[in-house]
A and B are shown apart, each in its own frame.
Chain A
Amino acid sequence: MREAMDPWIFVIASYVIGIGATLAMVAWSLLAMRRAEKRRDSARSAGRGAGANS
């Protein structure tokens, strides 16, 4: 005999996992990009400053 299962539990769990993972990945990628570009820009301006001092 098969147990009765509420299909919506499985559907909602799938959507939570799928949407959650996608949004987390998008946010992580954007933050990593912003952080890396800020680091590059500060390295660039530090280099310019050093060039002006020498």
Chain B
Amino acid sequence: MHGFANPARFLRIARWLMPLCMGTGLVVALLALGWGLFVAPAERLQGETVRIVYLHVPAAWLGMAGWMGIAGASFTEIVWRHPLAGIAAKACAVPGAVFTGVCLLTGSLWGRPAWGTWWVWDGRLTSMLVLLFLYFGWMALSQASEASDGGQSAGRVGAPAIFGLVGAVNVPIIHYSVIWWNSQHQPPSITMGKSAMSGDFLMPLLAAMLGFTLIFAGVVLARMRAILAGQQAEARLRRKARAEVEAF
């Protein structure tokens, strides 16, 4: 893993991996959504509204995966002082928050015809909303800590890394909320090696999850490249200004 700590090596890999992930992801996701929308059958009880599952479940998975990405990167930053870990955490925040928002909105749109209400304050929905607020808090904290030290914190572990680790407590709460508490939300349909879903629904769902996961990876790599390029430009301009002051 430390081999990837070198930003030059990371950039060499990201240059071909990012468009590959993004392009493949977009094609697979669009095909899977078309499959879910036009080919997959309607469900016996829920009818046509079941087609929302092909967006809702990948968005929920990536909302949680995004925070696990932040937590993993924070752990790596704290333990190994990996120079790219903080950048990776920052790059996971926006796509994670976007997918959490998509999960909440599509869930609400599914809840209205299925449950007769847009929203209920049950364990699953509330813990997912808390995840969205955690993302907002993390982004605000990350920007504030960057602004307060003027980008001079390289090699020092900041508050966002601690927040990223502590916030990971919410992810198992989201997952087990439908088991621990009486919930309007259904229990998990897909668990390790088992599925309560018929193949007609499961196959397009798995394809959509793969497609959106590849898009997520592509977006994270693009954002890491952007942050890294920004830092390099900043460092170069700072060096130039220092050289000019010394020459004067």
Contact = CB atoms under 8 A, between A and B. Distances in A.
A and B: bona fide binding partners: yes
Interface of A: 2, 5, 7-8, 10-11, 13-15, 17-19, 21-22, 25-26, 29-30, 32-33, 35-37, 39-40, 42-44, 46-47, 50, 54
A44 B229 CA distance: 11
Given A15-B33, A39-B229, A25 B106 contact: no
Interface residues of B, number: 45
Interface of B: 22, 26, 29, 33, 37, 47-49, 51-52, 55-56, 59, 94-95, 98, 101-102, 105-106, 109-110, 112-113, 116, 212, 215, 218-219, 222-223, 225-227, 229-230, 232-233, 236-237, 239-240, 243-244, 247
Nearest to A34: B226
A18 B240 contact: no
Contacts, number: 107
Contacts of B112: 5, 10
A48 to B, nearest CB: 10
A35 B222 CA distance: 11
A37 B219 contact: no
List the 8 closest A-B pairs by CB distance, nearest first.
Answer: A18-B55, A36-B229, A40-B233, A7-B48, A33-B226, A29-B222, A36-B226, A40-B229
A2 B73 CA distance: 48
5 contacts: A10-B112, A14-B55, A21-B98, A26-B219, A37-B225
